[in-house]
Every structure is written in C-alpha cells, then in structure tokens.
Amino acid sequence: MKFLIILFSLIFLNTKPTHAWGFFGHQRINRMAVLTLPPEMFTFYKHHIRYITENAVNPDKRRYAVVGEAERHYIDLDVYGDSALYKLPRRWEDAVAKYTEDTLRAYGIVPWHLQLMKFQLVNAFKERNVDKILRISADMGHYIGDANVPLHTTQNYNGQMTGLYGIHGFWESRLPELFADDYNYFFEKATYFKSSMAKAWEAVTNAHLALDSVLRFEKELTKQFAEDKKYSFETRGNMTMKVHSKEFSAAYSKMLNGQVERRMRAAIQMVGDFWYTCWIEAGQPNLDNLLEMNQEQLKILEEEEQELLQEPKIKSRLHENSLNTNIPDDEKPTYNFGRLVFRREEKKEK
C-alpha cells in the first residue's frame, strides 16, 4: 500500500506540465526508474528525484553546445545495410577496426556510449562522489531512453526520406504527452546484468525491430485522414503550434497497439537495471551515508549544467518540435550520396 501511495504521488502530484515540448518522456523515464530500485538505493534516489527528473533532458540541450554530443543519442543502423543488426560488431574496438571511428561517429554511437556511461557510473559509486553519481545517472537515463526509441535507430529519423516529416516528435513527444497517464507503471525490481554491451544492444535491437510499424502505420493512416483532420493547432503559452490532431494521434496509438508504452516501459526498466548494476559492481556503497549532500555542492552542480546549456553553437539533426521548426532553405536536409548535408557541415565544425 505504501508503495502504491508513493507511486501515485510520484506520478500525479509532481508532474507539472513541462514547458519544453519533447522533454516529457525523458523526465518520466528517469523519474519512474527510481521506483525500480531496491531500498538500499531508493532513499538516495528519491531524495534527489527532482535533480534526476529535471536533468533528464540535459543531453538534448547539450547537443547544440558540446562537440561530440549529438552522436551519442542514436545509431543509424540502416546505413550499414539490411542486416546491420547482425553484422555490426558489438565491441567498439571491433567496430572501429571494421568501419573506422569517423564513420561510427558520423552515424551515431549510442550503444557504445552506454557502455562508457556504465563504466563512469561504477567509478562514481566507488568514489562515493554524489555530484558524479547524480549527473551520470541522469545522463545515462537519457541515453537509455533514446536507445529504446525506434526512430533513433535510422537515418530516416524524422520520416524525411519517406514523406512523413515530423514523425519523430509525434512518436516520442506528442503520443506520450497525450497518453502516458494511461500507461501501466508497475515494474519489476531492478536486476543485475552481466554484460552492458549485450544490454545496450538489446535496447537498440528491440527499438529497430519496431521501426517498420512506426513508419508504415503513419503512412497507412495518413491516407485515411484529410490534411485538416490529421493536424490541428494548439496553444502553448503564447504560441500557437501545429500538432498532430488528437483524433489522428489516438488512431495511430491504437494501431501501434501499445508500442510507445512498451518502449517507454522497457527504457524505465533498463535505466533501473543500469543504475542497480553499477551500484553492485562498485561494491554496494552505503548511499544513505551520502544523503547529506551539501546544498552548496548541489548548487554548483546545477550552475555548471546551466553554463553548458548556453547559446547553441552546433548545428545538429532536427529533433523535437520539428513540425514547427522554421528551417531556412539552405539548412534543409538534402541528400548527397545518402548523407545529410547539414550533418556534413556539422562535422566540419568539429
């Protein structure tokens, strides 16, 4: 019963509407992952749940400010051919030997980056470094969330190659915003896994296997909706935005038969499993002793994050809210031997 009360208060009392379109899912994933943790970890993470939740979106903000950040969020499996999932070496060194590091970075490195994050979180636990534990846990939750999204496993990440422009934000933002309160939030306890490599690839594999229906169903459904029924306008703050209509969203969600919920649940569970496994491998440090994080430290941590998130310096792939992005003509994605031109420019800046 106590568990249920905590669960409902976490879901309903503390979920203010987020200002940023597209951040909702990530915040919920990090927040819910805390519920999977065993008591030895739960108190600590619950104490810092505000930080863990709010900072779930930092990696997306950093995409425009930090060189090398963008590629950590996805992997364009289809550039490696039809059977990429089976052909691509799982180990970073083997993949570099086969395709070169430049190529891997150009097409995204999320499954390998997760392994690096795991290594970092184990170390943070070993050092009993609260700043690092919190920062890396929050970031890790973000990348795991991304790795579980079908459109993060393809170069057609926004439907732009098949006439479904805007599907990215539709699937990962609009649908969860409309329907996530109806999702089932009962989870297994976090479990230990042996191989972060296998786990990271499991996320990417399951996400990629769901990709076909993501794209095909929207195409099929679009034939049944007139343009003015497919989209509608909503006011957010003082902005009017074009969005997929509620009717279209509901029909698409029904057709996907719980797919968004399944991917989100898989992500939540996996975030819990990663945090837990790192803690085990660090020798199960007593986190209750670390609860007295001084407020000074927390403030420094938050200020550092804010500094990182200053002015965008880097062009990156279009992401959230792409239906409403006014893209100057010379920045519109065009194709050059299968590569996005604006991504080549991005590379030049590095």
Instruction: Note the residues at the interface with Zn ion (CB under 5 A).
Output: 60, 73, 146
Reduced to 3 states (helix: H, G, I; strand: E, B; else coil), residue 311 is coil
Cα–Cα dist 340/182, whole Å: 37
CB of 146 to Zn ion, least distance (A): 4
CB of 57 to Zn ion, least distance (A): 8
- The token pair at 77 is 């499996």
CB of 59 to Zn ion, least distance (A): 5
Nearer to Zn ion, 145 or 272 (CB): 145
Element (H, E) at 219: helix 211-224
Cα–Cα dist 147/25, whole Å: 13
Nearer to Zn ion, 23 or 217 (CB): 23
Reduced to 3 states (helix: H, G, I; strand: E, B; else coil), residue 215 is helix
Q: Which of 58, 72, 123, 126 is nearest to 301 (CA)?
A: 58
Nearer to Zn ion, 64 or 187 (CB): 64
CB of 127 to Zn ion, least distance (A): 27
Nearer to Zn ion, 73 or 317 (CB): 73
Nearer to Zn ion, 141 or 272 (CB): 141
CB of 32 to Zn ion, least distance (A): 17
CB of 232 to Zn ion, least distance (A): 26
Nearer to Zn ion, 71 or 146 (CB): 146
Distances (CA, A) of 219 to 78, 113, 332, 345: 19, 32, 22, 31
Q: Is 251 exposed, middle or buried (0-12, 13-18, 19+ CB in 10 A)?
A: middle
Q: Which residue is nearest to Zn ion (CB)?
A: 73
Cα–Cα dist 60/139, whole Å: 10
Nearer to Zn ion, 2 or 19 (CB): 19
CB of 338 to Zn ion, least distance (A): 23
Distances (CA, A) of 46 to 34, 112, 188, 226, 254: 7, 28, 17, 46, 34
Cα–Cα dist 146/194, whole Å: 22
